[in-house]
Amino acid sequence: MPTVPALPVVLAGVGRTFGDRRVLRDIDLEIAAGEIVAIIGASGSGKSTLLRQVGGLDQPDSGTVTIDGTPLNGVDQRTAIAFQEPRLLPWRSVARNVEVGLPRSTPRAEGRARVDELLRLVQLEDAKSLRPRQISGGMAQRASLARALARGPGVLVLDEPFGALDALTRLTMQDLLLEIHSAEPATILLVTHDVDEALYLADRVILLGTEPGYPANSGAVIRSVITVPGKRPRDRGSASLAQLRAELLDGLGVSTHHPAHTF
């Protein structure tokens, strides 16, 4: 089954207001085809709102979002989304949950082959007949990723996809995401609360938040953009990542001596 090539994403002057609360203001961001970009920021800083603009689940009040030069006016079929909760249908098997992500026009034999291919990719081929209640949280999240990949998207939008997992499973899922990206390259926009996760996975990390000295309801802006050096997979304990971690935590107002690197 053909997949969409990785596509560039451009946000130009994007702003979003809910009632009298401005959430995003003047967001300018260019994401290259095949790039992995992570968004971090304090709780309530507008990360998920920004992600929803790219996913086509919400529309900006100002500015534009384009995918491969085409302005978004809703959900784009070349884009797929995965959330923190797997959102699997409990009455369907793992394989049939993955089927949900296939384009409606997919021939049956081709669809089955695509589902089997994805189940192998996310290491769930032995669980294809199980129901969601019969699998672990990590397995459910893998099924959710496979469903998002079913149509072969050019852009993959991930909203804290590993946030509900235990620490060891989360590390495993991070490595799996890199394997998936290598096998089926897509442009990935990832929201995470984990600074270490952002630095391990992303080519660039975007720090989102209110400008210093501005009121909280003035809207989040891109406060800094950090390019992460080195090829993936990276050494989690490297000195260069430690330096960037300290820089990001400082930008978030978190002590670098804090025992956890989440916020």
The residue out of 125, 152, 179 marking a domain boundary is 152
Asked if 110 and 214 sit in the same domain, the reply is: no
Confidence at residue 113, expressed as pLDDT on a 0 to 100 scale: 94
The number of beta carbons lying within 10 Å of the beta carbon of residue 107 is 10
Helix (H) or strand (E) holding 145: helix 137-149
Q: Vertex 232, ends 239 and 118: CA angle to 5°?
A: 145
Asked if 245 and 218 sit in the same domain, the reply is: yes
Closest Cα partner for 138 from 180, 170, 116, 174? 170
**b/e for 195-227, b at 16 or more Cβ within 10 A?**
bbbbbbbbbbbbbbbbeeeeeeeebbbbbeebe
Asked if 159 and 256 sit in the same domain, the reply is: yes
Asked if 209 and 263 sit in the same domain, the reply is: yes
Number of domains in the chain: 2
pLDDT tens digits along 98-110:
999 998 888 999 9
Residue 44 lies in a domain: yes
Give the global pTM: 0.91
Asked if 17 and 32 sit in the same domain, the reply is: yes
Confidence at residue 184, expressed as pLDDT on a 0 to 100 scale: 87
Query: Which string of DSSP letters, residue by residue, matches 3-53?
Result: -PPP--EEEEEEEEEETTEEEEEEEEEEE-TT-EEEEE-STTSSHHHHHHH
Domain that holds residue 223: 1-49+64-78+155-166+187-263
Asked if 250 and 200 sit in the same domain, the reply is: yes
Q: Please give the mean pLDDT across all residues of the chain.
A: 90
Asked if 159 and 263 sit in the same domain, the reply is: yes
How far apart, in whole angstroms, are the C-alpha atoms of residue 39 and residue 190? 6
The number of beta carbons lying within 10 Å of the beta carbon of residue 2 is 5
Asked if 261 and 210 sit in the same domain, the reply is: yes
The answer to whether 217 and 21 have CB atoms below 8 angstroms apart is yes
Residue 173 lies in a domain: no
Asked if 19 and 73 sit in the same domain, the reply is: yes
Residue 191 lies in a domain: yes
The residue out of 128, 152, 176 marking a domain boundary is 152
Asked if 134 and 159 sit in the same domain, the reply is: no
Residue 59 lies in a domain: no
- Residue 254 pLDDT more than 80? no
pLDDT tens digits along 21-61:
899 999 999 999 999 999 999 888 899 999 999 999 999 99
* Most distant CA pair in the chain, distance: 59
Q: Which CATH number goes with the domain that contains 212?
A: 3.40.50.300
Confidence at residue 263, expressed as pLDDT on a 0 to 100 scale: 52
Helix (H) or strand (E) holding 109: helix 108-121
Asked if 159 and 216 sit in the same domain, the reply is: yes
Closest Cα partner for 188 from 214, 159, 217? 159
**How many residues are recorded in the chain?**
263
Asked if 38 and 159 sit in the same domain, the reply is: yes
